[in-house]
Amino acid sequence: MASPLEQTCSAHHAFLIRLSYSVSGGPRRLFTLLNAEKLTLPEIAKRTPAQLARMGFSPAEVKELCRPLRDLAKPVKQALLWHHPELEQYVVCIHDDDYPPLLKQIASPPLVLFLQGNRALLTSHQIAIVGSRYTTHTGKTTAHQLAHSLAGRGITVTSGLAMGIDAAAHRGALAVGGRTLAVLGCGIDQIYPKRNHALYAEITKNAGLLVSEFFPGTSAKAEHFPRRNRIVSGLSLGTVVVEAALKSGSLITARMALEQNRDVFAVPGNIQSRNSEGCHYLIQQGAKLILNDEDILEEYQHLNLAGIQPYLEVTKKSPTSGLASEALLASVDYDVTEIDVIAKRSALAVQDVLAQLLEYELRGLVASVPGGYVKLRGK
């Protein structure tokens, strides 16, 4: 019995899925072989086993490519069975009309993408937000606020579903009822890290989209994440880095974005923090320093992104708002500030400081964290 995909798609689609599975080394090696022979993808399907071998395909690869349809490898069968539009499960191939044009421009685009969720987001205007897994409270807050603002303007926030900055970015977009897209470093039906199980479910439940080039059932491996990162940047108009060490996956994503001729943005941070070293390096190398979503959107005026009606959040003031003072807010840093330090700087009694800080928490200007308070945004 033919699979759902075989019933609705051409033999060429099935061949691309088999090709994606068969060739070791991923799309990079495949396109290297193609370019050497000056061949297109459709032309490979017409090659005989002997011709494929002369091109540089291994005996095992030739065997898989030339298998009869009734004898497909198990992972290929699972991939074919993933396509169930009524369940919002899709397989999109590189020659489909809704394959992302930006992604198709990169040096080694995936032949096949497995999707779960709102398929329309695949070709929407996207901005990537990436950063450290082991982030600070300030970093997570910044990523959340940037994503909140961008998604509120109708832009899709794209990231990698990792802990830390990635998760904060996805949640920021969801918090405003906006759109977010997560690219996985494992099969579309796998959840990594496991701690993001609830976020994985929330993204699909709220009209978001999960994307992977890895076949269903594929577990996460270290070598998968650079491949995932090239898709994150490849789908996006630009990549924003929020907190990253000098040697990190986020800087790899930024480098890939530059190679793909995309914009790179970086958020400055504490010069004493290792988590800021990567962002400061990027700024020194020419990345645009950003403080808010407007700094990003002004780069895309030709697309009229900045003209999208923003989401307006109304913050109600507490009836005790008269307690709050400029001196107190100026006494709180964007890093953790102890109560005694705040009291000394503001020249207020500790009990008055605590009362006023509660007011600031209600207004969303500061947050209570272990060891003290952090400033969330300026006045």
Question: Is residue 4 predicted with pLDDT exceeding 70?
Answer: no
**In-domain check, residue 65:** yes
* Same domain? 298 vs 327: no
Residue range 258-270: average pLDDT? 95
| Alpha carbons 316 and 330: distance in angstroms, whole number | 22
Question: Is residue 322 predicted with pLDDT exceeding 90?
Answer: no
Average pLDDT, the chain: 87
The whole-number pLDDT of residue 78 equals: 83
Tell me if 260 sits within 8 A of 234, measured CB to CB.
yes
281-317 pLDDT tens trace: 999 999 999 999 999 999 998 877 644 544 433 333 3
**In-domain check, residue 109:** no
Domain termination site, one of 307, 336, 355? 307
* Same domain? 298 vs 157: yes
**In-domain check, residue 364:** yes
- Give whole-number Cα distances, 32 to 102, 104, 295, in Å: 20, 16, 38
Confirm whether pTM is higher than 0.85: no
Q: Which two tokens stand for residue 69?
A: 């349809």
| Residue type for position 17 | I
**In-domain check, residue 83:** no
Tell me if 150 sits within 8 A of 239, measured CB to CB.
no
Element (H, E) at 91: strand 89-93
**In-domain check, residue 111:** no
Q: Which two tokens stand for residue 327?
A: 């001196």
Tokens 């697309």, located at residue = 303
| Residue type for position 268 | P
87-117 pLDDT tens trace: 999 999 998 999 999 999 998 999 999 999 9
What's the CATH code of the domain at 358? 1.10.10.10
**In-domain check, residue 85:** no
Tell me if 94 sits within 8 A of 41, measured CB to CB.
yes
Question: Is residue 13 predicted with pLDDT exceeding 80?
Answer: no
* Same domain? 239 vs 336: no
* Same domain? 58 vs 136: no
Domain termination site, one of 41, 73, 105? 73
The whole-number pLDDT of residue 311 equals: 40
* Same domain? 285 vs 165: yes
> How many domains does the chain fold into?
3
273-300 exposure pattern, b = at least 16 Cβ within 10 A, e = fewer: bebbbbbbbbbeeebbebeebeebbebb
* Same domain? 344 vs 297: no
The whole-number pLDDT of residue 157 equals: 98
* Phi, psi of 80, rounded to the nearest 5 degrees: -65, -35
**In-domain check, residue 338:** yes
* Same domain? 166 vs 192: yes
Tokens 């009606």, located at residue = 309
Q: Residue 310 burial by CB count (10 A; 0-12/13-18/19+): exposed, middle or buried?
A: middle
Residue range 15-26: average pLDDT? 86
Closest CA to 99 of 119, 127, 84, 77: 119
* Same domain? 3 vs 36: yes
* Same domain? 281 vs 333: no
Q: Which domain holds residue 256?
A: 119-307
The two beta strands, 209-212 and 180-183, are: parallel
* Same domain? 236 vs 369: no
* Same domain? 172 vs 296: yes
Tell me if 353 sits within 8 A of 343, measured CB to CB.
yes
What's the CATH code of the domain at 238? 3.40.50.450
**In-domain check, residue 244:** yes
* Same domain? 15 vs 63: yes
